[in-house]
Structure 1
Amino acid sequence: MQNTTKRLFLGFSVKKTLECQFFDMQQKLTLYINTEALAVLQSNMHITLGFLGQVKPSCIPALLTEVDALEKPSFELVLSAISCWQKPQIICLQGQAHTPLLTMASQVQQIAAKLGLHQSTYHYCPHLTLFRRASCMTLPQQPVMGLNDLLPVNVPVSQLHLYESYNSQSGVQYDILHSWPLVPDQ
């Protein structure tokens, strides 16, 4: 039976050079976390703006129209802390959302509500996931040698993407379905 919905989210990609830096962080953390944890593939590294859930293909044109109308300022995000989130079982690099990013995240939630899509029950916190299925108990209490030298990471963001998440033979895959340029401050 063919899947009649797509698992979608809006987010920001990261530059290839930063993917390599994040991969280096994963390698340093690997010795300290549970063996069931799954490292996020470099090609899947991104910063989520809003998870939309299972979306019917017939709803996608309206979603694109709504996102077209969003104000989309470019920004630089500073990821400054390694965090472990127990409920989603992830280890991530976490940053602080400034007003333009918080505004965009709020507008995405409004779009989701308008279109009857998934809405987050959590306050928006920008992050880049390094590991999924991670037990938070295993995140080291002491700084990992060489890891603090890699923080903070400045992530310049210049495009917003609509991603589809799906399972493939090689694991979870994130494909970009549509992109929008972010507009530099005038």
Structure 2
Amino acid sequence: MARCKPKSGISPATATKCGWKRSPPPCKGCWMCSPGSDQTARRLFLALWPEDTERRQLVELATGVAGRRRTPDANLHLTLVFLGATDPARLIAYEAALADLSPPTLELTLDRYGYWPQPRILWLGSSRTPPELYELVAELHSRLRGCGFTPERRAFQAHITLARQHPGPAPTQPLVTPLHWQVRHVTLVESLRQDTGSAYRIMRRWPPG
């Protein structure tokens, strides 16, 4: 069966130039565009993804404070930019815009707990976020704007969600052993909705490796 073509006529080559303002309409009935295929929109975000050593430390910091609605160990991450539902053409454009991304190596010290009453989130953050991290987020926004992306209005606050629907408040005791995280990569992640909750799949990293 021949692969379908969007009626808008927008080709992947055109999409990579980030010159279009809206996504092509989805095909109806084609097996290429059926649920679960590469043609369906994906829920994506850019994040700092912990390596095994940092993840083990994060799990230790969450144990005993996060409660019953704790974030699964494998899901712990720090979101940089939430991309939302992303169709194939826009994904191609995003990847082209980020192709030569070279994020700086920086150290992020996670040394305090925090709590947002609405929506009742317990999180782990830093008492002093390095300026390089804010600059990285600004660079990501700048690259993606050319592809039609609109950043969230709220200011970026570096945090790792430890638990949802937490009764609060945040623990007041200082962390005995803060986590010193050497950040080297930006990761593109897909969020998959499952009966047991969300699962995450790494799609790409910049720089590769």
Question: Counterpart in 1 of 2:30?
Answer: none
**Counterparts in 2 of 1:113 and 1:87: CA distance versus 1, 3 Å:** farther
SS class of match (2:101): coil
The one-letter amino acid of 2:77's match is H
For residues 124-135 of structure 1, the aligned pairs below 5 Å read 124-135=156-167
Structure with greater proportional helix content:
1
**What root-mean-square deviation, in Å, do the aligned CA atoms of Structure 1 and Structure 2 show?**
2.2
For residues 10-29 of structure 1, the aligned pairs below 5 Å read 10-29=46-65
Q: Deviations over 1:161-181 (max 9, x none)?
A: 100112123321111111112
1:141 CA displacement: 5.8
Distance in 1, Cα, partners of 2:109 & 2:50: 12
Q: Which runs of 4+ in 1 moved over 6 A?
A: none
Are the counterparts in 2 of residues 8 and 53 from structure 1 also a CA contact under 8 Å?
yes
Question: Counterpart in 1 of 2:125?
Answer: 94
> Is 1:2 matched up with 2:35?
yes
**Counterparts in 2 of 1:51 and 1:17: CA distance versus 1, 3 Å:** same
**Counterparts in 2 of 1:28 and 1:49: CA distance versus 1, 3 Å:** same
- What percentage of residue pairs aligned between the two structures are identical? 24
Distance in 1, Cα, partners of 2:171 & 2:57: 22
Distance in 1, Cα, partners of 2:194 & 2:74: 14
1:118 CA displacement: 4.7
The one-letter amino acid of 1:61's match is I
> Is 1:160 matched up with 2:186?
yes
TM-score, normalised relative to structure 2: 0.72
> Is 1:70 matched up with 2:101?
yes
For residues 23-38 of structure 1, the aligned pairs below 5 Å read 23-30=59-66, 38=69
**Counterparts in 2 of 1:98 and 1:142: CA distance versus 1, 3 Å:** closer
SS class of match (1:149): coil
The one-letter amino acid of 1:122's match is R
The one-letter amino acid of 1:163's match is V
Larger radius of gyration: 2
Q: Deviations over 1:93-117 (max 9, x none)?
A: 1123322211110122233433233
SS class of match (1:92): strand
Query: Structure 1: 5+ residue runs without aligned partners?
Result: none
Question: Counterpart in 1 of 2:110?
Answer: 79
Distance in 1, Cα, partners of 2:53 & 2:105: 19
Are the counterparts in 2 of residues 161 and 177 from structure 1 also a CA contact under 8 Å?
yes
Which structure exhibits the higher relative contact order, with contacts defined as CA atoms closer than 8 Å and separated by 6 or more residues? 1
The one-letter amino acid of 2:184's match is S
The one-letter amino acid of 1:2's match is P
For residues 100-179 of structure 1, the aligned pairs below 5 Å read 100-135=132-167, 138-140=168-170, 142-143=172-173, 148-150=175-177, 152-179=178-205
TM-score, normalised relative to structure 1: 0.80
**Counterparts in 2 of 1:168 and 1:157: CA distance versus 1, 3 Å:** same
SS class of match (1:164): strand
Structure with greater proportional strand content:
1
